[in-house]
Amino acid sequence: MTERVVIIGADATGMAAASQARRMKSAAELEIVVFERGHFTSYSACGIPYWVGGDVDSRDDLIARTPAEHRARDIDLRLRTEVVELDVPGRRVLVRELDGGGETWWGYDKLVLATGATPIRPPMPGIDAAGVHGVQTLDDGQALIDTLDTLDAKAERSAVVVGAGYIGVEIAEALINRGYRVTMLTRSSQPMSTLDPDMGELIRKAMEGMGIRVVTDAEVTAVHTGDDGRARSVATSDAEYPADVVVLGIGVRPATDLAAAAGLPLGPHGGLVTDLAMRVRGHENIWAGGDCVEVLDLVSGSLRHIPLGTHANKHGQIIGSGVGGDYATFPGVVGTAVSKVCDLEVARTGLLEKDAREAGLQYVTVTIESTSRSGYYPGAALMTVKMLAERRTGRVLGVQIVGREGAGKRIDIAAVALTARMTADQMIALDLGYAPPFSPVWDPVLVAARKAAMAVRKDQFVR
Amino acid sequence: MTERVVIIGADATGMAAASQARRMKSAAELEIVVFERGHFTSYSACGIPYWVGGDVDSRDDLIARTPAEHRARDIDLRLRTEVVELDVPGRRVLVRELDGGGETWWGYDKLVLATGATPIRPPMPGIDAAGVHGVQTLDDGQALIDTLDTLDAKAERSAVVVGAGYIGVEIAEALINRGYRVTMLTRSSQPMSTLDPDMGELIRKAMEGMGIRVVTDAEVTAVHTGDDGRARSVATSDAEYPADVVVLGIGVRPATDLAAAAGLPLGPHGGLVTDLAMRVRGHENIWAGGDCVEVLDLVSGSLRHIPLGTHANKHGQIIGSGVGGDYATFPGVVGTAVSKVCDLEVARTGLLEKDAREAGLQYVTVTIESTSRSGYYPGAALMTVKMLAERRTGRVLGVQIVGREGAGKRIDIAAVALTARMTADQMIALDLGYAPPFSPVWDPVLVAARKAAMAVRKDQFVR
C-alpha cells in the first residue's frame, strides 16, 4: 500500500526531507506531498543580503532547486498553498489555496513540519507602512529590492536598519554599498549581540569606519510616514532618523502557530521540541526541523532556537531518512556562526559570557591578538580571539573571533574541539595546519588556548 | 645553588625552551647556556622559499628574535660553537669554537638536544659543486640567494629542483617567479608525495600549468659541472637537464650523530625517542625536541619523523617547562600539513593510503568536489577532498584537500576530529561555521564525511 507523507514548507528542511525520502522510497511506496505558502523552493535565505548588495546577480542564483526539478522526481509540490489547520488525531491537514480555490482536507500517514520562522515585527505605529521590509524570504527580498530600485533615482536617500544581528549588519553593508546613508538602530549595547559586547565593539568601529551610523541602546517607537503612506523616518525614544526605506533585522521566532494550535509540544523559545531523530516529542509519525524547532546546545545542555540554513539542511536529511525508514540523528549544536562585516570576518561558537552565566557555568576569559599568517608573510592581518574556559575543569566553553581574511573559518577548530569537549590544555596540543601563508607557528586559536589554560591554573591557585 | 642547563641548537626548539625556562627560573636559580653552530637564532626555516621567491623582503624578516634579544634575558647564547662530543655519564659536552679558539668541556645539570635535521645529500658525482644548494638553514638560504643574484644577469637561466616535497615544490615556484626555466625531478610517481598519488596529480597539473617541467620516476645520478667547477646540468638514468643552479629538496634526516655516539636511544627513523614530557627515554635530565626527535602518530600508533616548525616550537615550550620544574606534555601528532603551490592550497592530515596499509588498517576512501563558498557567492572555487575511513568502525583515518583560496586551513576541521578519534558519522553532525561568503550549506569536509559514512556502511553489507 502506498503511504503518504505530507510536508509543510518547501525550503531547506522540507525539500531536503522530500529528496532524501524519495531516494529511499519509490513513488509506489511513498507519496510525497509538499505544501508551500510562497512562490519559491529550496532557496538560500542567508544569501538575500548579498543579492540586495549586488554581490549576487539575481534571485535565481539563490535557488538551489526549482519546483520543476523537484516535480521531476515524483514530489507533488504545491506552491501558494497554506496549511491552516492540523488535526493530529485525525491524521489530516486543512489546506487553503492562496490564489483562490478553497480549502481541502488532506490525510497523511507521516507528517513533516518545516514551517520555518517569522520575522519579529514589533507592534508600533507605521510598522506595516510601505517601505518597511523584512528579509526572511525570497518574496521579502524581492519586495525590498523593488523598493530600492524605485529609490535609486533619488540623489539623497536614507535607510534605517532596525536590529544588529547578522542579517541587520549584512543588510546595512549592502545598503551603504548601494549609496544609502545608513543608520543602524539596536537595543543592545553593541552591534552583533551574538558576540560579547567587548568583541561587538570591534564591529561597531568597523561599521562606523565604513560610514554607517550605529545607534545602540535605542528603543524604536514608531515608523513615521509621509502623505503617500510611505516610510519617511524612524523614531526612537530619544531621536528621529530619516528613512526612505526601513529594514527589520530584529530576529525571528519559530513559525509554530499551527503546531501550537494542534497541541504539539513547544520549548522555552516557542520552537517545536523533537527527539534526536527529529520526531516531535510524543509523536511517532510527525517530524519537525529547521527554523521551527529548538535544538540541544551541547555546551550548556539547554534548548536553543538557532535559525540557520546549515542546520535546516541537516535536519531535512535526517527527517528524510526517518520518513524513508532509515536511521539518523541530529545530536545537537555548539552554536557556531560566521559572518562578514565590511572586510571584517566575525565568528563565534559555544557560549557567550551571558550564556555561560545563565547555564550556571563559571569561567575565565582571555582575549589575544595574533595574525592570520606568519607575521613576515604578505597579507598577514591582525585578529582578535576571545576564549571562555570553565573554572576548575578548563573545558573550553566558547570562542569568538574578529579579524580580516582567514579569521572567520578558524572558528571551526574551536567548534570541533567543543564538540569533543576538549579542555584548553588539550587544545594547546592540537596539530593544526602550519605554513607561513596560512598561520603563524602558533595558530591564533592555540595562542588563546594557551592563555586560557594559564588563566584556569591561576584561578585554581587564587580561590 | 645555581643549576646549569646546556641547550644544543638555537632555533625554534632550543630558544623556545630557553625562553620558557627563563620565564620560570631566575638567573640565580638557573644558568642557561645555548650552543649554536650557525650565525642565527629563532628563525623560520619554513619561510626560506618565500624569501627566495621575493614574497618576503629580507632575511631579517624571518628572524623572530635576535641573539641580542635573547642575551638581554640572561640567556648565555654562543653562536658559531659546535658541540662535538657528549659525555652522558660525566654530564658534560665538548664544545668547539668554529671561528678559532679551541675546544672546552662544559658541565651540565640538565641538557636539551635541539640539533634539528640535516638535508639529505645523495652521494653522487658533483653533489658538492658550486651552485648546488640545500634550503634547510638561513645560511643555506643566503648562499642560494647569492648564487641566484649572480645568475640574474643571464638572459636564459635554468634551474633543477631535486625532490618534490613541500620545500621542493615551494622552491620551484619561487624560481619560476624569478624567471628561471625550472625542472623538478622526483623519484615518486607524482609531486607532493605527502599526498596520495591521485591527489598529487592535481599538483602536477598546477605546476605544469605554471610552466614548471615535472619529471617523475626520475633517479638522479650526477650533477655535471663546467670548467669553472659550477653546476651545469643534472643527469638522471634517462636524460640530462640544464641547471645553472640545483636545489636539493629531497628531505631531511634527524641530526642525531652526536646523540647516537653518546648511546642515546634512536627510533626507526633515526630520531631521538622521548617520553611524553620530551625527556629522552631513560634519561631524567636530558630533553630533546624539534626536528631531531620522533613523535607519536596518534592515528597509526607508531613513531614518525615530522620536521615542522610548529611542532618544534611546542616541543621547546614543553621542554622549557620541564627544565623549569613545571609539567607539560606533547601527546603526539596527527600529521597535519598545509602548503601553497601556485594558487593551489594543499593540505593533509592523518594517514595516506600507504600509511594506513603499513599500520595494518583497512579502510574505504572517497573523493568529492565542492566549493569554498556558496556556489552563488563571488569567488566560490572548486576544491577536492579525499577522506579515508576505517572499515567496520568508520573512524576517520586521514583527509587530503587540494583547492584554491579557503581550502587549505579547512584541514584543521579534520585535524581536530582525528585527535578526538571521530567517526565519519560523528563528523557529519559537526556544527561548522556557515555563511555564503565562507562555505556552502554543507561544508566540503562534511560532504566528504557523509560520503565516507555511506561507503563504510556499504562495505559492511558487501563483505
Q: Provide the grid cell at A340.
A: 562578514
Same domain, yes or no: A179 and A285:
no
Under the banding of pLDDT at 50, 70 and 90, the label for residue A225 is very high
Does B50 sit within 8 Å of A338, measured CB to CB?
no
H or E segment to which residue B311 belongs: helix B309-323
The answer as to whether B332 is a domain residue is no
Same domain, yes or no: B157 and B241:
yes
**What is the number of domains present in chain B?**
3
> Would you call B390 exposed, middle or buried from its count of C-beta atoms within 10 A (0-12, 13-18, 19+)?
buried
Inform me whether the pLDDT recorded for B45 exceeds 90: no
Of B250, B270, B301, the residue that ends a domain is B250
Mean pLDDT of chain B: 95
* Residue of B45, B46, B171, B247 with catalytic role: B46
- Compute φ and ψ for A77, nearest 5 degrees: -100, 125
In angstroms, the CA A420 to CA B422 distance is 9
Same domain, yes or no: B367 and B446:
yes
> Which of A47, A376, A438 is facing B338, going by the closest CB pair?
A438
The answer as to whether A67 is a domain residue is yes
**Closest residue on chain B to A342 (Cα):** B437
Chain A partners within 8 Å of B432 (Cβ):
310, 336, 412, 415-416
Inform me whether the pLDDT recorded for B10 exceeds 80: yes
Inform me whether the pLDDT recorded for B324 exceeds 70: yes
Chain B partners within 8 Å of A422 (Cβ):
420
Q: How many CB pairs under 8 A join A and B?
A: 197
Q: What is the pLDDT of residue A462?
A: 64
Under the banding of pLDDT at 50, 70 and 90, the label for residue A409 is very high
The answer as to whether A331 is a domain residue is no
Same domain, yes or no: B242 and B260:
no
Does A340 sit within 8 Å of B50, measured CB to CB?
no
The answer as to whether A338 is a domain residue is no
Same domain, yes or no: A147 and A112:
no
The answer as to whether A38 is a domain residue is yes
Same domain, yes or no: B246 and B258:
no
The answer to whether B105 contacts chain A (CB < 8 Å) is no
Q: What is the pLDDT of residue B462?
A: 64
Same domain, yes or no: A162 and A114:
no
Stretch B349-375: mean pLDDT: 96
Same domain, yes or no: B78 and B153:
no
The answer to whether A406 contacts chain B (CB < 8 Å) is yes
Under the banding of pLDDT at 50, 70 and 90, the label for residue A334 is very high
CATH number at residue A454: 3.30.390.30
Inform me whether the pLDDT recorded for B222 exceeds 90: yes
Stretch B327-333: mean pLDDT: 96
Of A216, A233, A250, the residue that ends a domain is A250
3-state secondary structure of B109: coil
The answer as to whether A97 is a domain residue is yes
Does A435 sit within 8 Å of B166, measured CB to CB?
yes
- Compute φ and ψ for A379, nearest 5 degrees: 90, 0
Residue of A42, A57, A416 to mutate, testing the B interface (most B Cβ within 10 Å of its Cβ): A416
> pLDDT tens digit string along B375-430?
889 989 999 999 999 999 999 999 999 999 999 999 999 999 999 999 999 999 99
Of B198, B226, B250, the residue that ends a domain is B250
Could you report the predicted ipTM of this complex, rounded to two decimals? 0.93
Q: In angstroms, what separates the C-alpha of A262 from chain B's closest C-alpha?
A: 31
- Its domain, for residue B429, covers 337-462
In angstroms, the CA B445 to CA B436 distance is 16
CATH number at residue B196: 3.50.50.60
Q: In angstroms, what separates the C-alpha of A11 from chain B's closest C-alpha?
A: 13
Does A62 sit within 8 Å of B310, measured CB to CB?
no
Same domain, yes or no: B235 and B384:
no
The secondary structure of B170-239 as a DSSP string is HHHHHHHHTT-EEEEE-SSSSS-TTS-HHHHHHHHHHHHHTT-EEE-S--EEEEEE-TTSBEEEEEESS-
Chain B partners within 8 Å of A334 (Cβ):
431
The answer as to whether B422 is a domain residue is yes
> Which of B408, B430, B441 is facing A416, going by the closest CB pair?
B430
Inform me whether the pLDDT recorded for A218 exceeds 80: yes
Chain A partners within 8 Å of B314 (Cβ):
428-429
Same domain, yes or no: B206 and B289:
no
Same domain, yes or no: A442 and A351:
yes
Respond yes or no: is residue B292 known to be catalytic: no
Does B413 sit within 8 Å of A412, measured CB to CB?
yes
b/e per residue, B281-319, with b = 16+ CB within 10 A? eebebbbbbbbbbbbbbbbbeebbbbbbbbbbbbbbbbb
DSSP B266: B
Does A433 sit within 8 Å of B338, measured CB to CB?
yes
The dihedral region occupied by A161, where left means phi > 0, alpha psi between -120 and 50, and beta the remainder, is: beta
The answer as to whether A337 is a domain residue is no
CA dist list (Å): A266 to A36, A92, A252: 22, 20, 16
The answer to whether B343 contacts chain A (CB < 8 Å) is no
Cell numbers 582567514 label which residue? A406
> Which residues have C-beta within 8 Å of that of residue B29, sequence separation ≥ 6?
B2, B3
For chain B positions 202-261, those within 8 Å of chain A (CB to CB) are none
Same domain, yes or no: B347 and B455:
yes
